[in-house]
Amino acid sequence: MIKALVFDMDGVIIDSEPIQCEIAVDVLRSFGAEPAENELYEFVGVTNQAMWPVLKERHKLDASVEEILKRHQEYKKKRFFTQKIEPIEGVRELIMDADARGLKIALATSSPRYLAEHILTSTGLMPYFDAMVTADDITKSKPDPEIYLKAAELLGVEPESCIAVEDAEHGIQAAKNAGMRVIGFINPHSGKQDTSRADFVVSSMRDIDLDRLVG
């Protein structure tokens, strides 16, 4: 029996993957690197803490990972805190429907907590979430299941009773590794993501039928 929905954020709650990639590219260029086109899409669903050591080595950056992370945070705040944020079409209705059915709702995002709180507050969705797990709360990045196991624990629900909603291959693998069923959301702005491991695949949030999933 399904008791909870667990949502990824970037590419699921808001259509932010292109922005996240653009910001990372700008950070790399600020340190003198010239990333390849679409290079950053391989890190969709991965924490900054896991991404930047790889990119630092790949592009031979002189700056420390701590310096890079600090600049990345500054660029993110400048971009996300000055623009109006709208949720992906249909996701608000899905969350409200789940809430009306008495399902528990959690966020499991590889973004930092300050950004997740800002986005959920700005979109008016924060009151619907019973739990939140962010990059600040985990030691292992997706596809490791840690983030989804923690979300289930905070909700007080077995992972097998949860359905995750993900747009990225790493996220889908993480949720499956945790023992959850997964809805793979094909977001054309999230790069070419393999959703083949998902239990259900949709191209619109409006295609997620809770009557069929929950009963």
Q: 132-148: string of b/e by CB count within 10 Å (b at 16+)?
A: bbbbebbeebbbbbbbb
């009963």: which residue's tokens? 215
Residue in this structure with the two tokens 């995002």, named with its chain if needed: 109
Angle of helix 65-80 relative to helix 17-30, nearest 10 degrees, comes to 130
- Based on the residue annotation, tell me whether 8 is a catalytic residue of this protein: yes
Q: What is the pLDDT of residues 38-97, one digit of tens each?
A: 899 899 989 999 999 999 999 999 999 999 999 999 999 999 998 888 999 999 999 999
List 8, 10, 15, 167, catalytic entry: 8
Q: pLDDT-derived band of residue 17, with 50, 70 and 90 as boundaries? A: confident
Give the pLDDT band of residue 167 (cuts 50, 70, 90): very high
The identity of residue 27, as a single letter, is V
Nearest to 9 by CA among 147, 103, 102, 203: 147
Whether the Cβ atoms of residue 73 and residue 112 lie closer than 8 Å to each other: yes
For 114-147, write each residue's pLDDT tens digit.
Answer: 999 999 999 999 999 999 999 999 999 999 999 9
Whole-prediction pTM value? 0.88
